[in-house]
Amino acid sequence: MSAKKIGSVDSVGSSVSVKGRQAALELSADTVSIHKNGIEFRSPQSFNEWSEMTVSLQSPEDGSKLSCHGVVIACAGNKHTGYHVSMVFTSLTPQTEERLLVMARSAFGNG
């Protein structure tokens, strides 16, 4: 599996960067939803299910950065309407889980 990296959801900007070997995307922050155990986003490009990814997030609350590893579990849509990508995080420490829970409850989250 190849690893891809999602940039950051920052408190100042309004975009998210998705970078991988075959893809480099700039997504609007309103297309991202953070959950306590994963992330969902709208993308103009599809991602293979079971692809490993590294996600770097910047907290909208205090600007702190958080890096999580995960796996794409679903990617639905088409090239005309875009894709809805769901990813679950793996191997989270208790501290990372707590920070994700705070972010999930923020403006970027969905609980």
Share of the chain above pLDDT 90, in %: 19
pLDDT at 8 over 50: no
Q: How would you class 70 by CB atoms within 10 Å of its CB: exposed for 0-12, middle for 13-18, buried for 19 or more?
A: buried
Question: CA 87 to CA 55: how far, in whole Å?
Answer: 10
11 located within any domain: yes
Give mean pLDDT, residues 29-49: 84
User: Structurally, how many domains does the chain consist of?
Assistant: 1
Give mean pLDDT, residues 54-58: 75
User: Does the pTM of the predicted model rise above 0.85?
Assistant: no
Residue identified by tokens 């890096």 is: 67
Question: CA 77 to CA 104: how far, in whole Å?
Answer: 24
Nearest to 106 by CA among 38, 37, 57, 59: 59
Average pLDDT, the chain: 75
Least confident of 50-54, 66-70, 105-109: 105-109
111 located within any domain: no
pLDDT confidence tier of residue 81, bands split at 50, 70 and 90: very high
Domain containing 65 — which CATH number? 2.40.10
The two tokens of residue 1 are 């599996």
Question: CA 51 to CA 60: how far, in whole Å?
Answer: 27
